[in-house]
Amino acid sequence: MLCEVESRFISVERLHEYESIDIEKETGNSQVDKSWPRFGRITFLDVVMKYRADMDPVLQNINFDILPRQKVGIVGRTGAGKSSLAAALFRLTDISEGHVLVDDMEIRSISRKLLRSKLSSIPQDPVLFAGTLRYNLDPFDEYTDAQMWNALHQVHMKEKMKALDQTLDLNIQENGENFSVGERQLICLARAILRQNKILILDEATASIDTSTDALIQETIRENFSDCTVLTIAHRLNTVLHCDVILVMESGRVKEMGHPQTLIQNPLSHFSKMIRAQSVAPNA
């Protein structure tokens, strides 16, 4: 009984802890050109980022320039700083030093809400809310039914919905429990297709799904985001071999950057070593 009481009071303690969390401050301009970002160029200049002032930097002196419409694969070991790049781009954590530019505009000069509305993201754990399919695809009533069905068609979900006699008013349970993980990921992809933003970030989006659905998602991304800048934080190295550029992260730094085939052909490159290690691992 003492153990039970202790565990329940720890829950109460945590609830009190959540009450004192600082609310994210809204800074920056909330008015920019509607067409921004028009090209999707991303530039990091001498970026240093800490999650807290008393912690060591998770990103150290990051410099790179991603050109419009480039497909970039970001690879590295656990803790290398891959997801921290996305956190800096979305301003989930403000950088300590340096500049992050999107189409030559400093993102700190733009409000967080506006900035995030201009970027599309598909995370590792797909996010669906309790409500209708229509609400999950278009929570702000910005698109027509025809556009939503077209997005579902693009991710190969329309046929299944029609076969089950389901409409856009289909009820989705909390966290999308009435869909498989792969189907939830496809619905999140349909949401990104609807928004038609110039920048898409995939944060290990295919890490928890089977290889056939992974291939389906990669094909859909190639077809629908051909004129967009796509950043893929990779879980499987083979998913980024088709990219224009590979960005190798290590200990919060950019270790190397280049075309995948160029890096693979160099036996001393970190990327080629990672490829060799992956091919040897199953036999070990």
Lowest mean pLDDT among 93-97, 172-176, 226-230, 271-275: 172-176
What average pLDDT does the segment 21-49 reach? 86
* DSSP single-letter state for residue 139: T
Q: Given this model, what pLDDT does residue 207 score?
A: 63
CA atoms within 13 A on the CB side of 13: 6
**pLDDT at residue 20 is higher than 50:** yes
Q: Given this model, what pLDDT does residue 255 score?
A: 92
Residues 119, 112: Cα–Cα separation, whole Å = 11
Lowest mean pLDDT among 20-34, 79-93, 127-141: 20-34
**pLDDT at residue 256 is higher than 80:** yes
Let me know the angle formed at the C-alpha of 136 by 132 and 141, rounded to the nearest 5 degrees: 90
Q: Given this model, what pLDDT does residue 119 score?
A: 92
Contact 169, 133 (CB under 8 A): yes
**pLDDT at residue 49 is higher than 90:** yes
Tokens for 12? 């109460």
Contact 200, 225 (CB under 8 A): yes
Place of tokens 């609310």: 23
Residue 85 φ then ψ, to 5°: -60, -45
Packing angle of the helix pair 181-195, 211-224 (nearest 10 deg): 0
- Please enumerate in sequence order all residues whose Cβ is within 8 A of that of 193, keeping only pairs 6 or more positions apart, or say none: 151, 154, 155, 220, 224
pLDDT digits (tens, 9 = 90+) for 185-214: 888 889 999 988 999 998 876 666 777 777
**pLDDT more than 70, % of the chain:** 96
Domain boundaries, the chain: 33-126+202-283
Lowest mean pLDDT among 42-56, 62-76, 125-139: 125-139
In this structure, which topology does domain 33-126+202-283 adopt according to CATH? Answer: Rossmann fold (3.40.50)
pLDDT digits (tens, 9 = 90+) for 105-163: 999 999 998 999 999 988 878 888 888 989 999 988 889 999 999 999 888 888 878 77
Residue 262 φ then ψ, to 5°: -65, -40
What average pLDDT does the segment 66-94 reach? 91
